[in-house]
Amino acid sequence: MTHELARVSSSVPGMDRDPTLLARRLERLRALDRRLVTAAELPPPARRTAAGADPGARAAHLAAGLGGTVEEGSGGPVVVVERATPLPMTLDGLARLPYPVDMERPLVYLDTETTGLGSAAGTLAFLVGIGRWDGASFCVRQLVLPDHADEPALLAALEAEIPADACLVTYNGRAFDWPLLVARYRLHRRPPPVTAGHLDLLPIARQLWRHRLPDARLASVEAGVAGVRRHGDLPGALIPERYFAWLRTGRAALLADVLAHNREDVVSLGRLLGEMSERLADPERRRSAHPGDVASLARVFQRDGRQDEALACYAEALAAWDEREPAPTRLDRDTLAAEAARLLSRTGRHAEAEAAWRALADRGGSTAVWAWIALAKHREHRARDSAGAMEAALRALRIVERRRAVGIPLRAAERDLARRLARLHRRARARRLT
């Protein structure tokens, strides 16, 4: 068998990779490929620059261009760029919010810039920005990869930035940044850093602020929530190519925008957390917060089982909408009021619940149908007032019928009322008979 193989490969030179023959075949393939791919689609060819040859020189060149320093590690050099941004905010209130942040632990704000999307093995993080508070400023330390070959050094440097009891703060880091970094450690066969927690602000931002923002991109959220607008921010889609261009050309200036973008992102993490802490955590301060945000927070408290705080937030939001600035729509306001009334019933505050439903019922509109039904329920089962229950149900029925007449049937309410009224009638008849 092996003899046979040897014969095949020796008698058929095309099967081997005879270097000169291979060179000629590649030359022909090159000619063919160039015709299939237009020149515009090809990136410029690699060019070795002065900075490219020696790894140390390359890192130094990059550090000089970005205003940073070179830190030599066991696995090569990393360029470190540090900048402080004034950010006089405190996180004192954060512990009172329904999010898993342990203020005793160090918070590590982290954001990466990568060579692509997803966490397949060919994508790497060439820049990791790490943020922390330093008094009234927010300090961002950026680890920049001078070259592919230096990745072990970057990973080692990153390990040193993340203590084992750290809680990460990221934006979409649970789905993207952190899995990608873990993949890089796996690829280099090193254990990924241990952390004690991970607060991803993306789902939180969606919960709290989606109601008044066009999208959930970090820059949009920051602009909408903190009023900070970025100027000349590099679009994320252009970032990978900037890095490849740096690798090809050795022009450090190409990465300046990328570093600025990343720094803004990391500062945003601190700023958003600060906004949450300062505006939403304290009940007093909350009165000046956006009522819609307070309404969102009410729902978060409720989901977290902290019903007293949820009810307080509902009340604050409704009060703000009624007194200070009107809700975006009447339906938004009434829906929130209905959620609050429902929570009051569920927590046994029946008198308050009844009052809340009564107020809603008097406002009319589609929410009033459910308010009347809720009142019917309350009167039938709790107040034992069948006649009152019947009256409430009939009030609801009247609205439902009007709706149907104008072509907007409320089917769920109709079904509920049909059953409810039948039962109440039956009971009334039975009572008349006895």
Partner 1 sequence: MRLYASATVAEVLDRLLADPAVAEAVVADRTLPARAADMRPFPDWLDAGLRSGLEGRGVTGLYSHQAEAIEALRGGRDVCIVTPTASGKSLCYDLPVLQAVAEDASTRALYLFPTKALGQDQLAGFHELADAAGIEVAAAIYDGDTPAPVRQTVRAAGQVVVTNPDMLHAAILPHHTKWFQLFEQLRYVVVDEAHTYRGVFGSHVANVLRRLLRLCAHYGSAPRIITCSATIGNPGQLAETLTGRAPVLVDRNGAPAGEKRVLILNPPVVDARLGVRASAYGLVERAAVTFLRADRQTIVFGRSRTSVELLLTRLREALREGRGPVGRVRGYRGGYLPSERRAIEHGLRSGDVLGVVSTNALELGIDIGRLDAAVLAGYPGSIAATWQQIGRAGRRRELSAAVLVATSGPVDQYVATHPDVLFEASPEEARLDPENLHVLLAHLRAAAFELPFEPGERFGAAPADDLLAFLGEDGHVRQAADGRWYWASENFPASEISLRVASPGNVLIIDTGGDRPRVVGEVDLFSAPTLVHEGAIYLHESRQYHVDRLDWDERKAYVRPVDVDHFTQAELAVTLKPLEAFASDAVPGGERVHGEVMVSSLATIYKKLRLESLENLGWGRIHLPELELHTTAYWVAVDPAAVAGWRRDELDVALVGAGRALQTVASVLLMSDPRDLGLVSQVRSPHAERPVVYLYDGVPGGVGLAARLFERHAELVAGARDLVADCPCDAGCPACTGPRLESGGEGKRLASRLLALLSGARADIAGAPAA
Q: How far is the CB of 304 from partner 1 (least distance, A)?
A: 25
Q: How far is the CB of 12 from partner 1 (least distance, A)?
A: 4
Q: How far is the CB of 56 from partner 1 (least distance, A)?
A: 9
Closest CB to partner 1 among residues 56, 214: 56
Q: How far is the CB of 191 from partner 1 (least distance, A)?
A: 11
DSSP 3-state of 145:
coil
DSSP 3-state of 271:
helix
Tell me the C-alpha distance between 300 and 321, whole Å.
Answer: 19
Q: How far is the CB of 159 from partner 1 (least distance, A)?
A: 17
Indicate left, alpha or beta for 305 from its phi (over 0: left) and psi (-120 to 50: alpha): left
Q: How far is the CB of 120 from partner 1 (least distance, A)?
A: 4
Tell me the C-alpha distance between 42 and 159, whole Å.
Answer: 37
Closest CB to partner 1 among residues 163, 240: 240
Closest CB to partner 1 among residues 119, 170: 119
Q: How far is the CB of 144 from partner 1 (least distance, A)?
A: 15
Determine contact, residues 270/199, Cβ cutoff 8 Å: no
Residues 6+ away with beta carbon under 8 Å from 163: 106, 108
Tell me the C-alpha distance between 316 and 318, whole Å.
Answer: 5
Task: Starting at the earlier edge strand, list the strands of the sheet with 107-114.
Answer: 69-73, 76-86, 137-144, 125-134, 107-114, 167-170, 197-200
Closest CB to partner 1 among residues 248, 349: 248
Burial class (CB in 10 A: 0-12, 13-18, 19+), 168: buried
Q: How far is the CB of 63 from partner 1 (least distance, A)?
A: 16
Closest CB to partner 1 among residues 246, 314: 246
Closest CB to partner 1 among residues 11, 434: 11
Is the torsion defined by CA of 370, 371, 374, 376 positive or negative?
negative
Residues that bind partner 1 (CB under 8 A): 1-2, 4-5, 8, 11-17, 19, 21-26, 28-30, 32, 37, 42-46, 52-55, 58, 115-122, 147-149, 182-184, 186-187, 189, 240-241, 244, 247-248
Closest CB to partner 1 among residues 98, 240: 240
Nearest Cα residue to 226 out of 196, 175, 179, 270: 270
Closest CB to partner 1 among residues 254, 289: 254
Tell me the C-alpha distance between 421 and 260, whole Å.
Answer: 66
